[in-house]
Amino acid sequence: MTIRSAAMIVNAQSRKGQAQFDEACAALEALPFPVDAHAVHDPGTLDDIIKAALAKKPDLLILGGGDGTISGLVNHLVGTGTALGVLPLGTANSFARTLGIPLDIAGAVEVLRTGKRKRIDLGMIDKDYFANCAAIGIAPQIAQSVPHGVKKYLGRVGYLSWAALQYAKFRPFELTIEDAGVRRNVDVVEVRISNGGFHGGTEIVDEARVDSGEIIVQAVTGSFKRRLLKNWAASALRLAARHDDTVSFTGKALRVSTRPPLPISIDGEVLATTPVTARIAAGVIEVIVPA
């Protein structure tokens, strides 16, 4: 792996971004190539800054932030030939976990120094790329309603506390999957549209791989929301029971509908509403992973 130049963009609005930007810059001094570093305090300027960075054609673009930051910006890398480096500064860091990247700055920078390029897939919701996992159910309900600053200042504890409040309002729903003209209806309590195995920092969709060439839609079935708690607990504890109430659909492109229509959170950000087409963009970017 030959890297001659790199740019780093850190979302300083992510939970750890502002506090750890200086630490990241210090760690990057150990790399054998120059890094043009930017801390972005206004998320509205992220797209323009990444476009300006990519216009200089760096070999590597390091994105520092949470899953939402990476997923929202990763589309800019498609077709550029610039590899992605991940600096996990978010709450769950599911994409970094999927790739096997350490969650501390020193470990993540060491992967940039000694790692290898790996070509991976991206998921798509209609025409929008995403890195790891989209969800239908309680996750977007939480994301839409969580007060500003809860994730940033209280981390996973604050986020889970808010989730408990939203659980009381949550209702199961009906999922319809269409694949090559074949329809299947299922009563469900959660749906995960996965390119990677981790969701919310926990490995949930075991069969999902970033280089499989297929999208996976996993549903937690049932008409009672307590099944969701059971599945979450079994997944967190890595019990075989985590598979008891799930059904998975796999393909290149799947039409996903719900009754009623529901919002979709894409790597933590609510960006779509059912019905949508979930598909895979096979091998469209390269990322630096542990050697």
Residue 173 CA to residue 182 CA, distance in Å, equals 20
The first and second tokens of residue 7, run together, are 């740019």
Percent of the chain with pLDDT over 70: 93
Count, residues in the chain: 291
Domain ranges of the chain: 6-121, 130-283
pLDDT interval class at 95 (50, 70, 90)? very high
pLDDT tens for each residue of 210-260: 999 999 999 999 999 899 989 989 998 989 999 999 999 999 999 999 999
Average pLDDT value for residue range 7-18? 76
* Residue 273, pLDDT score: 96
Residue 59: what are its φ and ψ, rounded to 5°? -70, -25
Q: Please tell me the predicted confidence (pLDDT) of residue 21.
A: 86
Residues 85 and 31: their CA atoms lie apart, in Å, by 13
Nearest partner of 136 among 175, 88, 83, judged by Cα: 175
Burial status of residue 68 (CB atoms within 10 A of its CB: 0-12, 13-18, 19 or more): buried
Best CATH choice for the domain 130-283 from the list 2.60.200.40, 1.20.140.10, 1.10.1060.10, 1.25.10.10: 2.60.200.40
Tell me the per-residue pLDDT of 141-198, one tens digit each, with 9 for 90 and over: 887 877 766 665 556 666 677 777 888 888 999 999 999 889 999 999 999 999 999 9
**Spatial contact of 7 and 64, defined as CB atoms under 8 Å apart:** no
What pLDDT does 17 receive? 60
Taking each helix axis from N to C end, the angle separating 105-114 and 17-28, rounded to the nearest 10 degrees, works out to 40
What percent of the chain clears pLDDT 90, i.e. is strictly above it? 68
The pLDDT, as a whole number, for residue 1 is: 59
CB-CB contact of 67 with 95 (8 Å) = yes
Query: What is the average pLDDT score of the chain?
Result: 90
For residue 223, give the nearest of 155, 172, 178, 182 by alpha carbon.
Answer: 172
Strand partners, 275: none
Please tell me which residue, 157 or 72, carries the higher pLDDT value.
Answer: 72
Q: Output the pLDDT for position 73.
A: 92
Q: Please name the fold of domain 6-121.
A: Rossmann fold (3.40.50)
Ordered alpha helix ranges (H), 207-274: 226-236
Q: What are the backbone angles phi and psi of residue 198, rounded to the nearest 5°? A: -95, 145
